[in-house]
A and B are shown apart, each in its own frame.
Chain A
Amino acid sequence: MLGALIIVFREAIEAGLIIGIVLAVTRGVAGSRGFVAAGVGVGALGAIVVAAFADRLSQAFAGSGQELFNASILAIAVVMLVWHNIWMAQHGRELAQNLSDVGRAVARGDETLFALTAVVGLAVLREGAEVALFLYGILASGESGWDVFAGGLAGLALGALTSVATFYGLVAIPPRRLFAVTTWLITLLAAGLAAQCVAFLQQAGFVTALSDTAWDSSWILSDKSIVGRVLHTLIGYADQPSAMQVAVYLATLVVIVAATKFFAARPPSASVGAPAE
């Protein structure tokens, strides 16, 4: 039972952290909790469907279906996060120093609310598919049955607690800082997801360059430990990354920071050739 709890919790941490961050980012936005809940719901449903078709998904694309599926999910999530950060930078001028203004600004651009909902849904979908498969496998085998299943549910509950803890952890930061912190968090999160995405492309054999291991820090901190998993999600920590993963991580960071600076410098409302009224 403890084993099942730990396995499911490990899978659920990633989604839990992302949900918590998105809740904090959209705090004060009318209806944001509904959006996040919808993201979780759709992601969970999708996870069950994916688990049910795992066989066919694995065999698709000459056996690389699972890798390509994971890589696409991660790529979409990265795009959504980049979009969100650019949007926030663009509207930076409108954002006054208190959080309710940030909230109002986000609310006005509901497209970024949608983008963040999608990120939540995709995180739940990916991690949830693994959890659903694991729990399904245990039930199907009748191995140790309900005891293990109960452990799995407890693991899920702990994952949900991770969301709550992340949310309150972030909310305890003074509102002025919160905006800066979440912008950085989302940037690092996106870079980490991009590096994971390229790892799946390497595994599928679509990317073959720079496949050597850049470093091995697993003896200091394994990215399979709980702390390692948390850092893996938050800042993209990997204990044995390939050189390509490191390159993609850094490139994503540079692109996001540059794009954010670029768009922050140009007020969005001053559109090109706007006629004088």
Chain B
Amino acid sequence: MASVMGISAAAAAENAFTLTIKDHRFEPAELRVPANQPATLTVKNLDATPEEFESKSLRIEKVIPGNSEATFTLRPLKAGRYKFEGEFHDNTAKGEVIAE
């Protein structure tokens, strides 16, 4: 069990991705990640206001305070598109993770 988690953590460390939030928009708005591999996703909020990073399909829901960041572990994703959004500004803050 512990070794399995160790391996996946190591694999996740290799697949590290970063998103930024600026002016209530995500950069990049489309993030490509390899399918069927664990990965980590760091979301940096460069705005002064908090944002709730939310994705039903990635199963993430977290408030990121202004000028700070949060790191998530992504489960191995089947190939496909996974939408995410900033709930506090959902008219501009939209994006997709594309697993391929």
Contacts and interface: CB of A to CB of B under 8 A. Distances in A.
Interface string A212-226: 110010100001100
A211 B49 contact: no
B88 A7 contact: yes
Interface in B15-73: 47-50, 52, 56-57, 59-66, 68, 70-73
Contact of B87 (A7, A199, A240): A7
Contacts of A218: 56
Contacts of A138: 49
Contact of A203 (B47, B62, B63, B87): B62
Contact of B52 (A67, A130, A242): A130
Nearest to B51: A137
B interface SS class: mixed
Contact of B63 (A59, A66, A216): A66
B3 interface: no
A137 B52 CA distance: 11
B61 A203 contact: yes
Given A134-B50, A137-B49, A141-B48, A58 B59 contact: no
A137 B59 contact: no
Contact of A143 (B49, B57, B59, B63): B49
Nearest to B38: A208
Nearest to B1: A208
Interface residues of A, number: 33
Contacts of A205: 73
The secondary-structure label for the interface of chain A is helix
Nearest to B47: A141
A133 B62 CA distance: 12
Interface string A168-211: 00000000000000000000000000000001001101001001
B64 A137 contact: no
Contacts of A240: 56-57, 59
A212 B47 CA distance: 33
B56 A203 contact: no
B33 to A, nearest CB: 16
A3 B91 contact: yes
A242 B62 CA distance: 17
Given A58-B68, A140-B48, A203-B72, A67 B62 contact: yes
Contacts of B81: none
Interface of B: 5, 47-50, 52, 56-57, 59-66, 68, 70-73, 75, 87-88, 91
16 contacts: A3-B91, A55-B65, A55-B68, A133-B65, A134-B52, A137-B50, A138-B49, A140-B48, A140-B66, A141-B49, A143-B49, A199-B59, A208-B75, A216-B57, A218-B56, A224-B56
Given A3-B91, A130-B63, A203-B60, 20 more contacts: A54-B50, A54-B65, A55-B68, A58-B65, A58-B68, A59-B68, A63-B70, A63-B71, A66-B62, A130-B52, A134-B52, A136-B50, A141-B49, A202-B59, A203-B61, A208-B5, A216-B57, A224-B56, A239-B56, A240-B56
